[in-house]
Structure 1
Amino acid sequence: MSKFEIEVSLSSQAEMELNSAQSIYIPGCVRVFSDNTDLFCEHDQGTIRIKKLDLKSGYLLIQSIFDWYQDWLIQVDHAIISNDFEALAEACVKTFDNPVLIQDSNYRILGMSGHCDAEIPPEWYYILENGQSSVKGYEFMSKALHSSNMIYRQNVRRFQGKPGTLMLSGGLHATIAFRGRNFGKLTVLDSSRKLNRGDVCLFEYLSRRMAIYMATISGETQNYLDTEIIESLAMGKAVPKECVTYFQSLIQGSREGKFSVLVTNFSDPNRRGDWRTFQLIKNIISIN
């Protein structure tokens, strides 16, 4: 649609919940009509005006977008349910036209992709080189993502890249969470194509879909027992033994990459809390 002149007037709270184009007002759909030489796509959340486009061509164009979107959702659902996060990353790249990274709650890489057939971006290479679940990898991601300048629904935030740093590009990031429990992290860079409000709406919707599916899968198979172990240990929090055991098994059967933990500055080695943390860290390191 780049060749068309488009005017967008949408609510900042607009959601990605539309299903099809219609010639009349129907809940969950957009009304498509023409006014002189321009086409209007109208909903209670706002209006999109496409200049110099006839009604028949515009209707077919808009409906084809909805059809593509529904097919894409089927691909996404299948990838999440089957735990095929590489396929999910590839599907996201097709939609956002930008590099995508999917991680678990400990920043371990589940799926990643560059821009279509392009090489993996330098931001992703840094994470691979410095450890998928290392303190350096955690600090690298957390520092970049905590410098967000806009926060949306579904734990979605927009962050800015900084020239001369390891995070050259900004983008969108979401913590995949359901009922207070974190299951993963989703990041898309703003490098190949500038992300817009429509991308934010879709990112919010995708995050909510991932959270619901991952929470359901977790309840059935316990595949997501490793909730934020690295972050908890780095902050000196207690971690249940079964979580550490499961995390160790993930490290052993994961994709190639460095996994390491480094925690320093124990206030008192004889204190019970510090000693327990030390034992947990030793157990993780011992299988590396």
Structure 2
Amino acid sequence: MKLSMWMIANRLTYFDLELHIKEHAPAILNSARLAYATNCVHVYQEKDYIVCNGEGDIIKLFHMELTEAFEIVQGIFDFYEDWMTALLQDLQQKDYQGAIDRAWLVFKNPMILFDGNTKVLGITQQYPADSMDQEWEYLCTYGYSSLNAIQQMRYQHSNIDFTRHGVQAFSFEKDTLLKYSGYTFCLYYKDILCGRLNLLLKDREINTGDLQLITQLALPLEYNLGQSVSDKNKNNRNVFYNLLTGHPYEQHCLETQLAYQGWSLQELFYLTLIEVQEQNRQQDFSQHLHMIAHMTEQQLQNCVILNYKSYVLILSNQDLSGNSAAMNFFAVLCRNNPIRIGFSLPCKGVESTAFLLSQAKAAIRYGATSQASEQYYHFYDYAMDYLLDTPLGHQSIHACMPAVVRLWKQERASKDDLFSTLKIYLENERSVLKTAAQMFTHRNTILYRIKKIQEILSCDLDNSYQRDYCRLSIQILNLYERSSRRR
């Protein structure tokens, strides 16, 4: 394990010492030596003190013999090596609480490890629930971040990209729910947020050595949490990511995240997809993707923002394509970045959002083929292409015109005949008389039904595309129903 002079200095605080270390002295040192060697700490006597020289960064130790000083410095290398080895064993065994308890031996401050759903995986047990602030007590008691804490972080620090990979500092005003400042490290595995590590400032100041250790600790944490993603019982990814991409998730995690957003299970939901077109260098592309995600999170604070491959996913309980502020923001993004934006249909119920990702992607795919100069694509405009390309099943049902699906479900629940009336009305080229005759129903009844149908559809049946989309949706739904009966 490579150390920096700051990491070494942090283990020497009980001795009489003097530091001459550059603020960002790198972690490149392999061991202690009594003679100079590259990337080693050269320990030698000078005047009445001992010099520990790590590639130009100096620690002076007073009132100590050379042999004793050398053994102490080399012992620090051994300590960190043993500490990291034991910590890695904790992670391999998925003993996250044990890893956090072991981390305290080095950091001597409170630390919390969260998964991608702000669930506590480990919290420093040396600090009882009532020894910190109100949020610490909540974390210790319930094992999740509180809604109030999420809101405070979101709105007091809207200028900080808490989704950016790496270490970031944060602090709070006095007399708030969160009283302790500190550092947070957002953990990613294959560009998917899988956790967060928070270090709070309580008993000692944090310096460069601590931040270097956090960075070294983050790598095995990311790998371990990322590997757990494929384990259905230990899924650490954000539940909305799993929901949208069709992966397993835990219901209580979903309900917790909905509470954070102030959403309910049965609202209408929409997905907006920003496709970021790849640049020449993969590193530049990844940074560009995260930058756009951060800008989006700042501007659309009541949405869930996620990175997915070359996309930024925006899950919302409102239609952003009809929101002037959101569309103004998208216009700025489009002018300054190589992106395309796809809008899904709405769906009722958060669990149905699993079908929206394919819709938004299809909107971009079909739209870019037929209207390459455009940057906005609505799935509604390409739904017929999608339905003709998609095998009969849940994906195709959710791609049907939403109002027609509503009529279909409503007729099966209440036998109101509105869906059947619409079907026959369109088959008879919107002739009320022919529809009435075919349904053996009075003309005035048909007129009443059509008025109710028009109120629900909210579309123009004089428009040939909307009429054809409506007719195709009816055919798909009827075919799906007949197919289901045969099973």
Letter in 2 for 1:7: E
Q: Which of the numbers 200, 203, 213 marks the counterpart of 1:189?
A: 200
Q: Which has the larger radius of gyration?
A: 2
* Distance of aligned partners of 1:19 and 1:104 in 2 relative to their CA distance in 1, 3 Å threshold: same
1:246 aligns with one of 249, 262, 275: 249
Shift, 1:190, TM fit: 0.4
Tell me, yes or no, if the aligned pair for 2:24 and 2:208 is still in contact at 8 Å.
Answer: no
CA contact (8 A) 1:101 1:186 kept: yes
Q: 1:126 aligns with which of 138, 146, 152?
A: 138
Alpha-carbon shift at residue 145 of structure 1 (Å)? 6.7
Residue 108 (structure 1) aligned with residue 119 (structure 2): yes
Partner of 1:66: 77
Q: 1:219 to 1:126 in 2, by over 3 A?
A: closer
> Structure 2 counterpart of 1:247, which letter?
E
Once the 2 structures are TM-superposed, how far is the Cα of residue 246 of structure 1 from its aligned partner?
A: 2.2
Q: 1:49 aligns with which of 60, 70, 83?
A: 60
How far does the alpha carbon of each residue in 1:105-155 deviate from its partner, in whole angstroms, 9 at most, with x for none?
221111112436785632322345687266545334545776769x9x960
The question of whether the paired residues in 2 share the 8 Å contact of 1:144 and 1:167 is answered with no
Contact 2:180 2:200 (8 Å CA) reproduced = yes
Task: Report the equivalent of 1:175.
Answer: 186
CA RMSD of aligned residues (A): 3.8
What do residues 175-222 of structure 1 show as CA deviations (whole Å, max 9, x unaligned)? 12244222211011100222222212211211233224444x347757
Q: How many residues are treated as equivalent by the alignment?
A: 267
1:104 and 1:110 in contact (8 A); partners too = yes
Q: State the TM-score, normalized to the length of structure 2.
A: 0.47
1:155 paired to 2:179: no
Partner of 1:29: 40
- Partner of 1:284 in structure 2? none
Asked whether the equivalents of residues 21 and 30 of structure 1 are also in contact (C-alpha less than 8 Å), the reply is yes
Aligned to 1:255: none
* Equivalent residue in structure 1 for 2:150, among 102, 118, 138: 138
- Alpha-carbon offset, residue 43 of structure 1: 1.8
1:275 aligns with 2:347: yes
Counterpart CA distance in 1 for 2:74 and 2:100 is: 25
Against the structure 1 CA distance between its residues 276 and 206, is the aligned structure 2 distance closer, same or farther, given a 3 Å change threshold?
farther
Report the equivalent of 1:286. Answer: none
Percent sequence identity is: 22
Instruction: Assess, with a 3 A threshold, how the Cα gap between structure 1 residues 109 and 144 changes in structure 2: closer, same or farther.
Output: farther
Q: Which whole-Å CA distance do the structure 2 matches of 1:249 and 1:118 have between them?
A: 23
Name the CA distance, whole Å, in 1 between partners of 2:176 and 2:26: 34
Structure 2 SS opposite 1:204: helix
Report the alpha carbon displacement of residue 57 of structure 1 after superposing the two structures with TM. Answer: 1.6
Q: 1:247 to 1:280 in 2, by over 3 A?
A: farther
Question: Structure 2 unaligned runs (5+)?
Answer: 1-11, 265-301, 303-316, 321-342, 354-487
Deviations 1:42-88 (A, max 9, x none): 12262222233321121121122222111111121011111111101
Asked whether the 8 Å contact 2:51–2:59 carries over to 1, the reply is: yes
Cα gap change, 1:20 to 1:223, in 2 (>3 Å): farther
Unmatched 5+ stretches in structure 1: 253-257, 282-288
Match of 1:228 in 2: 238
Report if the CA contact (8 A) 2:129-2:141 is conserved.
no
Instruction: Give the 3-state SS of the residue equivalent to 1:172 in structure 2.
Output: strand
Counterparts of 1:220 and 1:32 in 2: how far apart (Å)?
48
1:240 partner amino acid: T
Q: Is the 8 A contact 1:114 1:121 kept in 2?
A: no
Distance 1:126 1:71 in 2: 33
Aligned residue for 1:79?
A: 90
Query: How far, CA to CA, are the matches of 2:129 and 2:33 in structure 1?
Result: 38
